[in-house]
Structure 1
Amino acid sequence: MLAKGQTVIQLFEQLAPKHYAMADDKIGLQLGSLQKDITKVLVALDVTDAVVDEAISTGANLIIAHHAIIFRPLAHLQTDTPAGRLYEKCIKHDIAVYIAHTNLDVAEGGVNDLLADQLGLTELTHLEDVHTEKLQKLVVFVPETHHQQVLDALFKAGAGGIGQYSSCSFNIPGTGTFLPQEGAIPFIGEVGKLERVQEVRVETIVTAGVQRRAVQAMLKAHPYEEVAYDLYPMDLKGRVFGLGRVGKLPAAMTLRELTEHAKAVFDVPTVRVVGDLSRPIRKVAVLGGSGGRYMRHAMFAGADVLVTGDIDYHTAHDALAAGLAILDVGHNVEKVMKRGVADYLAAQLAKTDTQVLASAIDTEPFQFI
């Protein structure tokens, strides 16, 4: 059985929810429709002609990419322009394009965690905190006979997480009353007769990301025709998510050694380096994409070096004067997300016939001579 497009994206957004994205970021479905069966998903860094040709040749009808195919509002759609021809090719071959950018940067297991893992960093923290989970308390009244069934459904849907603990709840027995009116089809009792039922008041925590899924699971598992439940906002804050990562190398390296290490693990031919190549490096800040404006964040975090891409000339001078080393490994190292996202989605879709492929196309626009 093939997975529907909406199902694929719902599973993906458990990794990188849209609300993680920075303001005005161009994310989500940008082209095509998700109201169809998905034969294959192609995970790509960029959406280029070569990538779309790869999707056509492999039979993929959904591309999940990191960089937007439509970055600015369209004033017109002319198919005799390079961009217009690209959109036309996707539409003609019924290929949908979904973008996950800064939400995938922020996500645990996303771009920046993958980059940190490649470098072998440990004891990770965020370079900048950007999102704190909002928590709500979900309260539902369940007949004793279905108490465990509803609890299991809530926990399976992701409710009950507090810090490093899961399946957290509080359960209070009591007596529920109700009087079924004309037209009701009660699970317990009779129309026109007041009923008293031994019930359990279940209290648990839900995050914004799982609230809808948890409520739907609870309603499906609950036996009552009309379910009594409440959602209360909480001042208690949930997990914090952020851009970039700061961590430690297993053992100190010189800046020259770290440069060679980065070239090897990121599969890049050259690296632009700022700083004394003989200086020892132990604490590393890493940020996929253009990280120049996070130079001060790296210094504040106590990093010896910032590993990122697209560093401009003046930022390099500022870092040199401030004593912060920089490795500009290029924007294209974010290609690490192709295999990371493909592996995640393949595991999520394992019980379906939908396949997931990591794009084999190198979208690096620069040649190194």
Structure 2
Amino acid sequence: MGQFIHGQTLIQAFEDWVPKKLAFENDRIGLQIGTLNKKVKKVMVTLDILENVADEAIEKNVDLIFAHHAVIFRPLKDIRTDSGQGKIVSKLLQHDIAVYVAHTNLDVAEGGINDMLANKLGLKNCQILKPTYTEPLYKLSVFVPESHAGIVREAIGASGAGAIGNYSHCTFNIQGTGTFLPEEGTNPYIGKKGELEQVQEIRIETIVPEPLLKSTVNKMLASHPYEEVAYDIYSLNNQGKAFGLGRIGELTDSMTLKELAEHVKECFDLDGVRITGSPDTKVKKVAVSGGDGNSLIPFAKYKGADVIITGDVYYHTAHDAILHDLNVIDAGHHIEKVVKEGVSRFFKEVIQSSGYDGTIVIESSVNTNPFTFI
């Protein structure tokens, strides 16, 4: 029998990729049903959790369901076991099936749903359509004896700190004199107890994004020779890495709007799409957004998109797009089903790299699209 990954271990790896802090305020994310405090033999990835998905999970002996859309989005007024969401929740609890949800945080994350959609369409040179979160930056300043400056610099750089654009290991170094007096109970690396010491030191400064700050400081401390390390951390107003909704990129070759609509149908296995604009219009620069893309119409126009492909567009918003000469392809919210393939691949890589050969990852085979084209 193989080794099974712990639920908390698997989800911690996921949240390292898709942090909760990227989610919009009041979004329903995280663990919604059950517990992660258990070994997981089988994980199922789905877009939605309807009753037929819950039945599928029960039939396939699933321990953990990962979903993009929350099973509990609005507060429940009751939990009836014979109807509605209560029936779904009851079934999952009875069979000890946990449910974890990542919604807007997975939309905006690097490599998340919008990148999955853009990759599926074959878009090149992609950028964020609407920034929603900027990663905080910090300045780390540490004082090191000259003999160990290279060692500490390498430890800081190896942690990922000091990255500016395509450059890594960026630091600034100032030479000076450090003074200290070791008192009783100390074991100084340099100097003697009770005697004031002067040491030629290097002040090393570098820039650190928030997610790397803790590990960078730990690696710096581990490489530093001093018993007590003098260092400072400053919060910066510099703009860090941006995350956001939608993507905008380019087709390899321009095509007509009709050809692109057919391409969208093929990529996402759709029966049909809705479009605005002349089918013969040539398009090359393409914006894409899974889910509700109504708020992104102005951003797509501002950034020069010829067309926006989205999961939902309102009637009057489509009129607004026409007025601004922006073509629209409404492919339906269900195009976000790319989450199943993308997240399943991530989970499998985590499980394999961690040596848990017993845990199985499957994609839900149930169709949760509420619409059928006639």
CA RMSD, 1 decimal: 3.1
Contact 1:163 1:238 in 2 (8 A): no
Determine the C-alpha separation between the residues in 2 that align with 1:150 and 1:92: 54
Residue 95 of structure 2 aligns with an amino acid whose one-letter code is H
Are residue 360 (structure 1) and residue 358 (structure 2) matched?
no
Aligned partner of 2:105 among 103, 106, 115: 103
Residue 367 of structure 1 aligns with an amino acid whose one-letter code is T
Residue 275 of structure 2 aligns with an amino acid whose one-letter code is V
Deviation of 1:300 after TM superposition, in Å, equals 1.9
Are residue 244 (structure 1) and residue 249 (structure 2) matched?
no
Determine the C-alpha separation between the residues in 2 that align with 1:121 and 1:272: 20
Contact 2:78 2:86 in 1 (8 A): no
Contact 1:342 1:356 in 2 (8 A): no
Contact 1:155 1:167 in 2 (8 A): yes
Which whole-Å deviations, capped at 9, do the CAs of 1:264-317 have from their partners, x for residues lacking one? 011111111222111111111111101123222222222221100222222223
Name stretches of at least 5 consecutive residues in structure 1 with no aligned partner: none
TM-score when scaled to structure 1?
0.85
TM-score when scaled to structure 2?
0.84
Contact 1:160 1:206 in 2 (8 A): yes
* Partner secondary structure for residue 211 of structure 2: coil
Q: What's the counterpart of residue 130 of structure 2?
A: 128
> In the TM superposition, what are the counterparts of 1:209-248 in structure 2 within 5 Å?
209-219=211-221, 226-248=228-250
Q: What's the counterpart of residue 341 of structure 2?
A: 339
> In the TM superposition, what are the counterparts of 1:40-119 in structure 2 within 5 Å?
40-119=42-121
Determine the C-alpha separation between the residues in 2 that align with 1:141 and 1:59: 56
Contact 1:2 1:352 in 2 (8 A): no
Determine the C-alpha separation between the residues in 2 that align with 1:60 and 1:144: 57
Equivalenced residue count is 369
Q: In the superposition, relative to structure 1, how do residues 339 and 86 fare at CA in structure 2: closer, same or farther (>3 Å)?
A: same
Aligned partner of 1:317 among 319, 336, 348: 319
Residue 100 of structure 1 aligns with an amino acid whose one-letter code is A
* Partner secondary structure for residue 115 of structure 2: helix
Which whole-Å deviations, capped at 9, do the CAs of 1:189-246 have from their partners, x for residues lacking one? 8877777777654433221233234334545565666544321111221122221111
Determine the C-alpha separation between the residues in 1 that align with 2:35 and 2:185: 40
Determine the C-alpha separation between the residues in 2 that align with 1:213 and 1:41: 30
* Partner secondary structure for residue 206 of structure 1: strand
Q: In the superposition, relative to structure 1, how do residues 138 and 23 fare at CA in structure 2: closer, same or farther (>3 Å)?
A: same
Contact 2:6 2:40 in 1 (8 A): yes
Name stretches of at least 5 consecutive residues in structure 2 with no aligned partner: none
Q: In the superposition, relative to structure 1, how do residues 179 and 159 fare at CA in structure 2: closer, same or farther (>3 Å)?
A: same
Determine the C-alpha separation between the residues in 2 that align with 1:218 and 1:122: 38
